[in-house]
């Protein structure tokens, strides 16, 4: 299963440029059911969000204070603006659902795409771009980066840039780490590469698959001026994220009623979408 991939990833070239992770197409998956989807959807090398990520990583607050010009967790607390963000897509099941709801409400969001999935689902990636949403880099295979070396981050970053460049015509400036996990050395490197690291200050916890009502309550109970809201339009192949799209109607309607303006992350923090 994923242990095979992790072992292959640990035995890589330290320079990063020649790093080639084991192809997921060559990995023998033992899960039963949904096989057509599994074969079509590159998987998360670092593991499922529910198994790896801490709900509130304090380390990101420390990194933001240490590198305020690189790491961003929210926008201005003086403006009634919020940014919806979606990780781990594109996904053939859930990304179109999310895009349909956003289009219904005329809301633009920011999608942090996994390079291998963007490459596998170019039409969905193109739709995200064509409909006016912002796109950020979420690595190529979704590894747990603090467990890797800098060469791995360099490869993940540049390989995903090339994929997105080939589909949209630009290299994203925005970068979000899988599981929100980074260390000092990696933040410094991302800054040198002219990336802005995007975290969040409102976690929908949709990756816990608790249903639309709980997801919307998680957001509406914690959102404020300048909030960056974390949601998912993709994840581990076994996850049912249909509650995410279903929760958006309530979230968007309620916040619009309260006068909030939905913007993309580049609009929220005043940086360009492209490098």
Residues designated catalytic = 87, 232
Q: 28 near 47, Cβ under 8 Å?
A: no
Rounded distance between C-alpha atoms, residue 116 and residue 109, angstroms: 21
Cα 234 to its chain centre, rounded Å, is 9
Rounded distance between C-alpha atoms, residue 195 and residue 171, angstroms: 10
Question: Looking at 90-164, which runs of residues are DSSP E strands?
Answer: 110-113, 134-137
CA dihedral sign of residues 215, 221, 222, 228: positive
DSSP β-bridge partners for residue 197: 71, 175
Q: 201 near 268, Cβ under 8 Å?
A: no
Question: 97: which 2 tokens?
Answer: 């659902």
Question: 175: which 2 tokens?
Answer: 């970068």
Cβ contacts of 2 within 8 Å, gap of 6 or more: 43, 44, 45, 47
Rounded distance between C-alpha atoms, residue 230 and residue 226, angstroms: 13
Rounded distance between C-alpha atoms, residue 65 and residue 187, angstroms: 12
């Amino acid at each position: 299963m994923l242990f095979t991939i992790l072992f292959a990833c640990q035995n890589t070239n330290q320079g990063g440029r020649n790093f080639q992770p084991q192809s997921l197409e060559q990995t023998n998956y033992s899960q039963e059911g949904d096989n057509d989807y599994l074969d079509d959807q590159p998987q998360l090398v670092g593991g499922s969000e529910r198994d790896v990520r801490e709900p509130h990583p304090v380390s990101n607050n420390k990194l933001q204070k240490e590198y305020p010009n690189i790491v961003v967790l929210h926008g201005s607390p003086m403006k009634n603006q919020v940014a919806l963000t979606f990780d781990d897509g594109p996904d053939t099941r859930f990304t179109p659902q999310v895009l349909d709801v956003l289009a219904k409400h005329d809301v633009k969001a920011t999608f942090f795409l996994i390079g291998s999935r963007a490459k596998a689902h170019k039409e969905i990636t193109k739709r995200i771009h064509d409909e006016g949403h912002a796109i950020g880099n979420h690595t190529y295979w979704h590894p747990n980066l603090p467990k890797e070396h800098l060469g791995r981050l360099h490869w993940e970053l540049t390989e995903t840039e090339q994929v997105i460049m080939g589909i949209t015509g630009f290299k994203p400036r925005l970068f979000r780490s899988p599981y929100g996990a980074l260390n000092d050395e990696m933040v410094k490197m991302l800054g040198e590469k002219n990336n802005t690291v995007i975290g969040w200050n409102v976690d929908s916890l949709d990756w816990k698959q608790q249903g639309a009502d709980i997801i919307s309550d998680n957001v509406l109970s914690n959102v404020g001026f300048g909030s960056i809201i974390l949601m998912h339009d993709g994840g581990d192949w076994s996850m049912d994220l249909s509650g995410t799209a279903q929760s958006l109607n309530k979230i968007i309607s309620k916040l619009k009623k309260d006068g909030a303006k939905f913007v993309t992350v580049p609009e929220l923090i005043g940086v360009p979408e492209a490098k």
